[in-house]
Amino acid sequence: MGNLFGCVQVDQSTVAIKERFGRFVEVLEPGCHCLPWFLGHQLAGHLSLRLQQLDVRCETKTKDNVFVNVVASIQYRALADKADDAFYKLSNTRSQIQAYVFDVIRASVPKLNLDAAFEQKNEIAKAVEDELEKAMSAYGYEIVQTLIVDIEPDEHVKRAMNEINAAARMRVAANEKAEAEKILQIKRAEGEAESKYLSGLGIARQRQAIVDGLRDSVLGFSVNVPGTTAKDVMDMVLVTQYFDTMKEIGASSKSSAVFIPHGPGAVRDVASQIRDGLLQGSHQ
C-alpha cells in the first residue's frame, strides 16, 4: 500500500512543493505525506525556511575617484506562507539578490567621498535593505538584516591615507611642542625681567643707603670739628675710600694690572668724579 501511494518525509524547517501533472497543488509542511503517484501527484522539490546568508563583494568608485570594494552581508529567508512564490518565481535567488545589491551600492557610494562612505556605512546598508525588501517580498523572501561589513580601498590609497594621518598628527605634535617652548620662553623672559627689576631696586636702595650714611657722617663730623665744611669732610671720606680700594686691589693675588693716574692732583680729580657720581645717584 505504501508503494502504491508513495510516502514522503519533509524535514523540519523545510517545506515541499506538491504538483499534479506538473501543476502546483499545495505546500507540504514538515512531516510524513502520501503521494498517489498513479493519480499524477509528485514532489517538485523542497524549499528551506532556514535563515541564509549571502556575502556580496562589489567594486565601485567614490565621489573623489577612489575605487573601493564594498562587502555586504545579506541575511534572508523564504516565507512559509509564500513558499510557492519563492519556489517558482526565481530560478536563482542568490544571483537575483546580488544584482539588487550591486545596483544599490553602485548608485549610493559614488555620491559620497571616501571618508563619508566610511562614516555612512549604516545609511548604505539601510538603502540596500529597503530596496531588497521591496523587491524580494514579491518573490516570497524576507530580508532579515543587511550589513556593510567592510569598505576596502586600494592598497596604495590606504597607505596614502595612513601617511596623511601620520603627517597630521606630527603637525599637531609640532604645534603643541612649539606652544610649550613659547610658554617657557615667555616665563623665562618674565623671570629675567622680574629679576632685573628687583636687582635695580636693590642697587638703587644700596646707593641711597650709601648716600644717607655719608650725609650723616659728614654732618656729624662738621658739628664735632668746628671750622670744617661739609665739602672738606666729603673729600676726606672719598680719598680714604680711594686708598682703601687701591689697597684691596694690591692685596688680591688674582687681580689684573690696573693703571690709575696717581698724585695729589689725580686724587683730587678722582674725588671730584666720585662725588659727582654719588650726587647724581642720590638725585635718581
Per-residue pLDDT of the chain (284 residues; tens, 9 = 90+): 444 457 888 888 889 988 888 888 888 888 888 887 777 888 888 888 999 999 999 998 888 888 889 999 999 999 988 888 888 888 888 998 999 999 999 999 999 888 888 888 999 999 999 989 988 988 999 999 999 998 888 777 777 777 777 777 788 888 888 888 888 889 888 888 888 888 888 888 877 777 677 677 767 766 666 666 666 666 666 667 767 777 777 676 665 666 666 555 565 666 666 666 655 555 55
Beta bridge partners of 76: 52, 143
pLDDT attached to residue 90: 84
Q: Report how far residue 29's alpha carbon sits from residue 25's, in angstroms, rounded to the nearest whole number.
A: 13
pLDDT attached to residue 11: 87
pLDDT attached to residue 38: 75
Q: Report how far residue 128's alpha carbon sits from residue 140's, in angstroms, rounded to the nearest whole number.
A: 18
User: What's this model's pTM, rounded to 2 decimal places?
Assistant: 0.54
pLDDT attached to residue 39: 79
H or E, element range at 260: none
pLDDT attached to residue 159: 76
pLDDT attached to residue 157: 72
| Residues 6+ positions from 185 with CB-CB distance below 8 Å | none
Task: Please state whether 72 falls in left (phi above 0), alpha (psi between -120 and 50) or beta.
Answer: beta
Q: Report how far residue 74's alpha carbon sits from residue 55's, in angstroms, rounded to the nearest whole number.
A: 6
Q: Report how far residue 94's alpha carbon sits from residue 55's, in angstroms, rounded to the nearest whole number.
A: 10
CA 232 to chain centre: 79
Q: Rounded to the nearest 10 degrees, how much is the dihedral formed by the CA atoms of 50, 51, 52, 53?
A: -170
